[in-house]
A and B are shown apart, each in its own frame.
Chain A
C-alpha cells in the first residue's frame, strides 16, 4: 500500500518554499522569490495556500514605505513536511 502524498506539498513551488522555510527561522518574500525564481504573483498565491493550511505563518508589515512580508514554518507545517519526506522515501524504497 502506497502512502498518500500530501497534495498541498506535491507541487514544485510549494515544496521548494517549504524546503527553504524548514531550514531557516523565517524568510522574507524577496529572499523566497530569489531562491525559488518564481514570479511575485505565483509566489503570493502559493504562500497564501500554505498559510491557509496553517503550514506557514505570514506576517505583513512595512519597512519604511515598502511592504515587507515574512514567512515562517509552523509546527503543523514541519510535521506535514516530515511526513511528506517519509512518504517519498517509502515510495522510493517500494519502487526499488
Chain B
C-alpha cells in the first residue's frame, strides 16, 4: 500500500526533469564506461604488436615480420570473449556508432594491408595512420570530447607527415603511438563516465 502511494506521489515539474536528466545521464555513463574497455584493448594490442614487429625487424633486419599484422584480427576474438558478460547490457546509439567506426577502420586496414602486400605497392603506413586519425577524430566528435578530437587530428595529419619522412621500421613507432592514443581514449571515456 505504502509502495503504491509512493508511486502515485505527485512530482513537481522540476523534480521530474531532474529525474529524467539524471536517469538518462546515468544510463549513458554506464554504457560508455562499458564500451571504453574495447578502446583500451585495441590500443594495447596495437602498441604491443607495433613494438614487437619493430624489435623483430630492427634486430633481424627483415621486414617480413610485418606479416604478423595479419594476426591483429585476433583482437576481435578477445573482444568477443570480453563481451560475453555484456550481453545483458543495453546498446546505445553512441556505443553502436563507435562500434561501426572502428569495425570499418579494422576492415579497411586489413584490406589496404592485403592490397599493399600482395597486389600493388601502396604506402600502407600512411594510409592506415590517416584512417586511424580519422576514426579517432570521429570518435571524439561522437563522444563530444575535444582531447580525443585533437589527438586524432595530430595522429592523422602529423602521422601522415611522419610516415613519409621516416623510413622502414621506425614507422612502426607511429603505430605504437597510435595505440597509446587509442588506449588513452578508452581510459578518458572510462574516467569521464565514472
Contact = CB atoms under 8 A, between A and B. Distances in A.
Given A24-B90, A25-B92, A42-B3, A12 B19 contact: yes
Given A16-B23, A35-B30, A46-B7, A25 B90 contact: yes
A11 B24 contact: no
B10 A23 contact: no
Contacts of B142: none
Interface in A1-39: 5, 10-16, 19-20, 22-28, 30-31, 35-36, 39
Interface of A: 5, 10-16, 19-20, 22-28, 30-31, 35-36, 39, 42, 46, 84-85, 88-89, 91-92, 95
Contacts of B30: 35
B8 A92 contact: no
Q: Which of B19, B90, B96 neighbours the largest number of chain A CB atoms within 10 Å of its CB?
A: B90
Contacts of A23: 24, 27-28, 92
A19 B23 contact: yes
B17 A89 contact: yes
B17 A35 contact: no
A26 B11 CA distance: 26
B14 to A, nearest CB: 6
**A-B interface, 10 closest residue pairs, ranked by CB to CB distance from nearest:** A24-B90, A19-B23, A91-B13, A27-B90, A88-B13, A19-B20, A16-B23, A20-B27, A25-B91, A23-B27
B85 interface: no
Interface of B: 3, 6-11, 13-14, 16-17, 19-20, 23-24, 26-28, 30-31, 88-92, 96
A26 B90 contact: yes
Contacts of A39: 3
Contacts, number: 74
A12 to B, nearest CB: 6
A20 B31 CA distance: 11
Nearest to A20: B27
Q: Which of A5, A23, A85 neighbours the largest number of chain B CB atoms within 10 Å of its CB?
A: A23
A54 to B, nearest CB: 20
B90 A10 contact: no
15 contacts: A10-B10, A10-B11, A15-B11, A19-B20, A19-B23, A20-B27, A22-B24, A23-B24, A28-B88, A28-B90, A31-B88, A36-B23, A42-B3, A88-B17, A92-B13
B21 to A, nearest CB: 8
B11 A95 contact: no
Contacts of B9: 11-12
